[in-house]
Amino acid sequence: MSVDPNTPVLRNCIRLPLPEDELIEVTAKAKDYAIMHGAAMRSKSNFSEDSLNFAPFVLVPSSFPRKEFEKAVALQPIINRLMHNVAHDEEFITTTLAETIKVDEFTANLFNIYRKVLAHGFTQRTSLGMLRSDLMLESGCPELSPKALLWRGEADEDGQATAAAAVAVAAGTGSGGGVGVGVCGGKPRAKAKTMEEEEDEAAVKRNVQLSRATVSGVSTSTVASKDRKAAAYCCWKQVEINTIASGFGHLGPASKTVQSFVLRELGHADKLPNMPHNNALAGLCDGMVKAWDIYAKPQSVILFIIEDVSYNICDQRFHEFYIRETYPHIKVLRRTLTDVHREGKLGLNKELLLSGGLEVAVIYFRAGYEPGHYHSQDEWDARYLMETSLAIKCPSIQYHLAGTKKVQQALAQPAVLERFINDPEEMKAVGKIFTGLYSLDDNEAGNASYEMALRTPEKFVLKPQREGGGNNVYGVDIPDALKRMSRVERSAWILMDLIHPPLTKGYMVRPGAEMPPTIVDMVSELGIFGVVIGDADHIIHNYQAGHMLRTKLSTANEGGVAAGLGALDSPYLIDSDDEDEN
């Protein structure tokens, strides 16, 4: 993916580059520290069950605007409730996926299970949702804080920012509020500006012309105004919401551990308070245990459904170890879908029983979200068996379907959102997190989206109903992909506006890569975890449960860490009135 040269750069946590000898020493230590604290994975190229590699990581935490982080955290329980309501709206799920299941076999198979379960009635009415809402900052947002950003646009001899960068910032309009969790709109809006906004803009214009700075040896312009009031830095947009196998409950907090160590080693312990506490592992595992409590049978176990080979093993075993250490009376088992087909059966009250008569209270799916996990009808039968059982599922089939891209696209329409959120302030706040999402169904609206994608493909990403990375089509590749599909086939996909996150600069450390690492341009994706437990009538538990940050090269389309493209990271929170490091 090409990167616009005017993309703003977020101010660094510490001054870079590091002196080479210090960089070599701290990187070598950090690699060992990562392996020894479970920031690790099994190697794909040299797989062995007996060894681990450190997971790729960013050496120093990437900056993230504090206000936007806090908004995302505050919004999560509302998103949890939204997804819970969506999952329990049979009519909405059925109509929304109607066209998709005609052409997408995988979604159709999931939907078939849903249909059968609906026909027979739910044996277990309670669901365990362990969600992760993924988001990116949008640098096209009109509210960029002048102090948090540097422009990589070429500076003229006076060190002034390019006109384009100045205009991009100065053109901003105001943000929405709403239950303290509002995020600003992605595009300038027509509404009248408040006096405060006018003042802010004037300050931006003045300051863009006044100051300069040097970052990583590149002279760029920056803005520094002591008198400017704190403002939102930048809005963020949801990339997707995950309702199945939301990973990094361990690797999120583990990234913070590694980067805290690095900052201390570099003599920057003073920076640690700006790395937010991350309780993801405990939050998610406690969710499973709360579900186990609801099931209320002392001998019952928690079952993890796993892939045939688990590369991302730390992010599963640490969950298991946390449960075993914190709640030693609860046993955790790991089985593949194939194993469940072989040994699983239902008891008299539809309890899920594994060999030896072990009764399963809670099923945590870390597999089952992609076609490759179902080798034959056996695995689908196993999924159905579990779905009809008394065990509490994470996710239950309706939650899985609620997490499809097609549902996300439908929810982005205000009229649809209204169906699930009553409070107008909450509606407003959630409505703003969606970037443009377009149906490609075979109807007038879908055909208009198709034409739009052919005209300006560089603005979009094309997504199928898949999870796990590597399935999307980006920018200039979209027209060919679309033209290969029939009109009906297109309805299995959705079209989404590309989000343009600001850049950060830093060192990415990868197994087997050359030492020392060099400074690269990167972009980050923040994931906020949420836990929600309840049935169609009641929500029993609903809370935000920590976060994770993944960072990729700015030129990469996707940033899956397990897929080898992204790197572990954690947010370093910055405020609009911070002093510049550089």
Specify the residue, 240 or 441, whose C-beta has the smaller distance to Mg ion: 240
The nearest distance, CB 496 to Mg ion, in angstroms, is 12
Residue 468 annotated as lining a ligand binding site: yes
Quick one: what does residue 123 bind among ligand ADP, Mg ion, none, with the CB cut-off 5 to 8 Å set by partner type?
Answer: none
Report how far apart, in Å, the C-alpha atoms of 423 and of each of 70, 84, 157, 544 are. 20, 16, 52, 19
The nearest distance, CB 240 to Mg ion, in angstroms, is 5
Helix (H) / strand (E) element for 550: namely: strand 539-553
Quick one: what does residue 498 bind among ligand ADP, Mg ion, none, with the CB cut-off 5 to 8 Å set by partner type?
Answer: ligand ADP
Region near Mg ion per CB under 5 A, out of 234-242, 317-325, 372-380, 427-435: 234-242
Quick one: what does residue 159 bind among ligand ADP, Mg ion, none, with the CB cut-off 5 to 8 Å set by partner type?
Answer: none
Judge contact between 537 and 563, C-beta under 8 A.
no
Residue 550 annotated as lining a ligand binding site: yes
How far apart, in whole angstroms, are the C-alpha atoms of residue 91 and residue 87? 10
The nearest distance, CB 290 to ligand ADP, in angstroms, is 26
Quick one: what does residue 181 bind among Mg ion, ligand ADP, none, with the CB cut-off 5 to 8 Å set by partner type?
Answer: none
Quick one: what does residue 307 bind among Mg ion, ligand ADP, none, with the CB cut-off 5 to 8 Å set by partner type?
Answer: none
Residue 31 annotated as lining a ligand binding site: no
The nearest distance, CB 237 to Mg ion, in angstroms, is 13
| Total of residues contacting Mg ion (CB under 5 A) | 1
The nearest distance, CB 565 to ligand ADP, in angstroms, is 8
Residue 322 annotated as lining a ligand binding site: no
Specify the residue, 534 or 559, whose C-beta has the smaller distance to Mg ion: 559
The nearest distance, CB 140 to ligand ADP, in angstroms, is 11
Specify the residue, 378 or 558, whose C-beta has the smaller distance to ligand ADP: 558
Judge contact between 54 and 39, C-beta under 8 A.
yes
The nearest distance, CB 510 to ligand ADP, in angstroms, is 17
**Please, what is the end-to-end C-alpha distance for the chain in angstroms?**
28
Specify the residue, 468 or 479, whose C-beta has the smaller distance to ligand ADP: 468
Specify the residue, 197 or 240, whose C-beta has the smaller distance to ligand ADP: 240
Judge contact between 125 and 165, C-beta under 8 A.
no
Specify the residue, 213 or 561, whose C-beta has the smaller distance to Mg ion: 561
DSSP 222: B
Quick one: what does residue 387 bind among ligand ADP, Mg ion, none, with the CB cut-off 5 to 8 Å set by partner type?
Answer: none
Residue 465 annotated as lining a ligand binding site: yes
Report how far apart, in Å, the C-alpha atoms of 214 and of each of 17, 111, 162, 424, 453 are. 12, 55, 15, 45, 39
Residue 335 annotated as lining a ligand binding site: no
Region near Mg ion per CB under 5 A, out of 183-191, 238-246, 309-317, 567-575: 238-246
Specify the residue, 100 or 133, whose C-beta has the smaller distance to Mg ion: 133
Return the structure tokens found at 569: 């990271």
Reference 60, options 23, 35, 21, 9; nearest CA is 23
Judge contact between 2 and 497, C-beta under 8 A.
no
| Bridge partner list, 521 | 505
The nearest distance, CB 4 to Mg ion, in angstroms, is 23
Report how far apart, in Å, the C-alpha atoms of 549 and of each of 64, 145, 165, 276, 571 are. 10, 21, 27, 12, 7
Residue 474 annotated as lining a ligand binding site: yes
Judge contact between 49 and 321, C-beta under 8 A.
no
Q: Interior CA angle at 392 toward 386 and 395, to 5°?
A: 75
Q: Within 10 Å of residue 376's Cβ, how many Cβ atoms?
A: 10
E strands, 186-330, in order: 213-215, 218-220, 235-242, 301-305
Residue 496 annotated as lining a ligand binding site: yes
Residue 463 annotated as lining a ligand binding site: yes
Q: Give Cβ neighbours of residue 2 (< 8 Å, ≥ 6 apart).
A: 555
Specify the residue, 294 or 526, whose C-beta has the smaller distance to Mg ion: 526
Residue 469 annotated as lining a ligand binding site: yes
Where do contacts with ligand ADP occur on this chain (CB under 6 A)?
134, 239-240, 461, 463, 466-469, 471-472, 496, 498-499, 525, 558-559
Reference 128, options 339, 397, 420; nearest CA is 397
The nearest distance, CB 76 to ligand ADP, in angstroms, is 17
Query: Which residue lies nearest Mg ion, judged by its C-beta?
Result: 240
Q: Locate all alpha helices (DSSP H) within 105-162, ordered by sequence.
A: 105-120
Residue 498 annotated as lining a ligand binding site: yes
Report how far apart, in Å, the C-alpha atoms of 537 and of each of 381, 449, 533, 540 are. 29, 37, 11, 10
Quick one: what does residue 461 bind among ligand ADP, Mg ion, none, with the CB cut-off 5 to 8 Å set by partner type?
Answer: ligand ADP
Residue 68 annotated as lining a ligand binding site: no
SS3 of 320-369? HHHHHHHCCCCCEEEECHHHHHHHCEECCCCCEEEHHHEEEEEEEECCCC
Specify the residue, 461 or 531, whose C-beta has the smaller distance to ligand ADP: 461
Region near Mg ion per CB under 5 A, out of 192-200, 240-248, 321-329, 369-377: 240-248
Give the distance, in angstroms, between the CA of residue 124 and the centroid of all CA atoms in the same chain: 29
Specify the residue, 17 or 468, whose C-beta has the smaller distance to ligand ADP: 468
Residue 467 annotated as lining a ligand binding site: yes
Query: For the chain, how big is the Rg over CA atoms in Å?
Result: 24
Specify the residue, 127 or 246, whose C-beta has the smaller distance to Mg ion: 246
The nearest distance, CB 407 to ligand ADP, in angstroms, is 13
Specify the residue, 351 or 467, whose C-beta has the smaller distance to ligand ADP: 467
How far apart, in whole angstroms, are the C-alpha atoms of residue 238 and residue 335? 32
Residue 348 annotated as lining a ligand binding site: no
Residue 472 annotated as lining a ligand binding site: yes
Reference 491, options 443, 557, 554; nearest CA is 443
Return the structure tokens found at 315: 């992010």
Quick one: what does residue 351 bind among Mg ion, ligand ADP, none, with the CB cut-off 5 to 8 Å set by partner type?
Answer: none
Q: Locate all alpha helices (DSSP H) within 412-486, ordered by sequence.
A: 414-417, 424-431, 444-455, 478-483
Quick one: what does residue 426 bind among Mg ion, ligand ADP, none, with the CB cut-off 5 to 8 Å set by partner type?
Answer: none
Binding residues for substrate: 316, 550
Binding residues for Mg(2+): 467
Binding residues for ATP: 405, 463-472, 474, 496-499, 525, 552, 558
Residues that bind Mg ion (CB under 5 A): 240
Binding residues: 316, 405, 463-472, 474, 496-499, 525, 550, 552, 558
